[in-house]
Amino acid sequence: MVVKISGKHINPEKPNMVKGYAEVFRSLHREGYRLAVVVGGGPVARAYIAAAREAGVNRALQDVLGIEAARLNARLLAAALHPEAYPEPPRSIWEALEAAATGKIVIAGGFQPGQSTAGVAALLAEALNADLLVLATTVDGVYTADPRRSPEAKLIPRLDYETLRKVLQQSVEPGRYELLDPLALSIVERSKIPVRVVNGSDPDNVARVVRGSDVGSLIATTKQ
C-alpha cells in the first residue's frame, strides 16, 4: 500500500503531526502491513520555489528545489519512524524497490523535475503492485468544486478515473499540485489502481482506510 501525504501535514512547523503519522505507520507496520510513503514539499517547497522565481531561476531548477524540500520532509518522517523506516529517501523507482525489499517502511520525496510527488506516489504504487494508493490531503475527499472556495461544493463518495479527469481543475506549476496531476492520473488509470482521498489532518484517517474503512472518496473503475 502506498500513502501520499501533503507537505502541509509533514513539515518542520508540524512536529505533532509528524509524531502522529509516525505512530500510525509504526502500528500498521507492526500489524503486518507493507507500506511506502511519499511526502510532498508543502510550504517549505513553495518558499524555496517562490524565492527562486523572484531570483530569475528557471522552472526546471525550481522543480529541483521543490524535490529537495520534499526529501527533507521525508527525512523528517523517516527519522521519527526509526528504526522501522528505511533511513534514506530513494531518488528513483529502482532505489525505492531496493528499499522496499528490506521490509522497512519506504519514505520518499520527489524523484525528478517536472514530476509531482503525486506522480511519484502513482509510479511507486504501480511498481510495487500496490492494492491501494491513499492520498492524505487537506480536504475530506473529491468535491464537485474546491470546497475551500465554494460553499456549494459536494463530496463525491465514489467516481471513476474519467470523472475525476473532468472534475480536476488544477495547476501543474512547481509546488502547486493538487490531488492527482495528469501524469499521476494516467498511471493509476492504466494500472487500475484504486485511489482513496482522505483528509490527512487526522492521521487516523489513513489508518482507517488501510484497515478497510470507507472514508473519503474512492476513485476506481466501475468494476472495482
- Closest among 69, 39, 72 to 52, alpha carbons compared: 69
Q: Is 4 annotated as a binding residue?
A: yes
Q: Is 42 annotated as a binding residue?
A: yes
Indicate whether 194 belongs to any domain.
Answer: yes
CA 100 to chain CA centroid, nearest Å: 17
> Do residues 26 and 84 lie in contact, with contact meaning Cβ atoms separated by under 8 Å?
yes
CATH of the domain at 101: 3.40.1160.10
Q: Is 112 annotated as a binding residue?
A: yes
* pLDDT given at position 73: 98
| Tens digit of each residue's pLDDT (9 = 90 or more) over 200-216 | 999 999 999 999 999 99
Q: Is 170 annotated as a binding residue?
A: no
The runs of H, that is alpha helices, within 103-195 are: 117-127, 161-167, 182-190
Cell of 89: 529517501
Indicate whether 117 belongs to any domain.
Answer: yes
Q: How many domains does the chain have?
A: 1
Indicate whether 224 belongs to any domain.
Answer: no
* pLDDT given at position 171: 42
Q: Is 111 annotated as a binding residue?
A: yes
Q: Is 221 annotated as a binding residue?
A: no
Instruction: For residue 120, give its domain range.
Output: 2-219
Q: Is 114 annotated as a binding residue?
A: yes
pTM exceeds 0.85, yes or no: yes
* pLDDT given at position 174: 46
* pLDDT given at position 194: 97
Residues of the chain where predicted confidence (pLDDT) is lower than 50: 170-177
Q: Is 25 annotated as a binding residue?
A: no
Q: Is 181 annotated as a binding residue?
A: no
Q: Is 27 annotated as a binding residue?
A: no
Q: Is 41 annotated as a binding residue?
A: yes
Indicate whether 131 belongs to any domain.
Answer: yes
Indicate whether 134 belongs to any domain.
Answer: yes
